[in-house]
Structure 1
Amino acid sequence: MLRLAAVLYILIASALGGAAVILVLSLNMMGGWQIAGAFLVGCLLSFPAAWFLARKIYGEMNGPRHV
């Protein structure tokens, strides 16, 4: 599951980091620290998202759960 989470993290971090940078630039914040901070926040927020998605995908690959 860790390998799946790592692959998902690469994809999700680039998407969330890029979206955060676009958001900062659209708010006319052109400072280098603002752009880098937005990208860092996007990358940090992608850790739990990648872990959650990996857990869901891995769980479905091993068969559905019976309640």
Structure 2
Amino acid sequence: MLRLASILYSIIATTLTGSLVIASLTMGYDTLAPILIAAGIGAVLAVPVSVVVARAIIDN
């Protein structure tokens, strides 16, 4: 399952990170700090999401 989760992480992390960066830019934050914070939150949040998706794929 760890192998599947790590493969899924590469896809899910880029999607979440990109979405959160675009959301922060849309809200008007145009300096470096909020963009990096949004990218970091997306990368960290992608870990449990990847595990949940991997479990759902293995269970089905």
Runs of 4+ in 1 over 4 A off after TM superposition: none
Aligned CA-pair RMSD: 0.7
1:23 is matched by which residue type in structure 2?
Answer: A
Question: Percent identity of the aligned residues?
Answer: 37
1:5 is matched by which residue type in structure 2?
Answer: A
Unaligned runs of 5+ in 1: 61-67
Unaligned runs of 5+ in 2: none
Q: Which has the higher helix share?
A: 2
Higher relative contact order (CA 8 A, sep 6+): 2
Alignment of 1:23-34 (within 5 A): 23-34=23-34
| TM-score normalised by L of structure 1 | 0.85
Q: Decide which structure has the larger Cα Rg and report it.
A: 1
| TM-score normalised by L of structure 2 | 0.94
Between the aligned partners of 2:3 and 2:50, the Cα distance in structure 1 is 11
Aligned residues: 60
